[in-house]
Amino acid sequence: MNQSQDKPFAEENFNVASLEDEIRVDELCRRLLRLFYEELTQERGLDAEQAAALAWGADYFLRDFLIAERQDNLLRISPNRIRQFGGTWYIIKNLEPNLTELSSHLRGIAAFYRFLAHRGLISERQAEELARPCEELDFYHERIESFWSITGDGYPSWERACSLKD
């Protein structure tokens, strides 16, 4: 697929079907994250540390989970992808999963999708729908606690409660 030169952030440019696509989409995502950081600092008045924390939170979700792991188009995800990220993937991919760090990722994800809506890359409605699972901290707290409580062959049951399978 040829990337549109006049609209580099067009939805179709974020499709991932090959390793080449993944590399290209990862670079597009990096560019968007830089613009996100700049908007946070220059237009929204956040200090560099606050903006970096939000960008870092979104970056992990976007580049490690959506693009590399799921090969999803980041402009066409469902709220369930965020629940899968926070409720299972983050927990099993980190040595010390904790709600403080996960909350930082979730804040970054919600802010990033609001940024995309502000730029007209997704609808305001989609940004609102994607923000909802970012606010379900009790759900994620329970998932982390129940993960630490798994004994014996309890993992499959735990995973099914918020499965990564589509």
pTM: 0.92
* Cα–Cα nearest to 134, from 57, 75, 65, 59: 57
73: in domain? yes
Confidence band, pLDDT 50/70/90 cuts, at residue 26: very high
4: in domain? no
Confidence band, pLDDT 50/70/90 cuts, at residue 166: confident
What average pLDDT score do residues 86-110 get? 97
Tens-place pLDDT, residues 27-54:
999 999 999 999 999 999 999 999 999 9
What average pLDDT score do residues 9-17 get? 91
114: in domain? yes
What average pLDDT score do residues 20-24 get? 94
How far apart (Å, rounded) are the C-alpha atoms in residues 64 and 22? 11
58: in domain? yes
166: in domain? no
How far apart (Å, rounded) are the C-alpha atoms in residues 124 and 126? 5
83: in domain? yes
CB-count burial class (<10 Å; 0-12, 13-18, 19+) for 111: buried
Task: Give me the number of domains the chain comprises.
Answer: 1
Give the residue numbers spanning the domain of 97. 11-160
What average pLDDT score do residues 96-124 get? 97
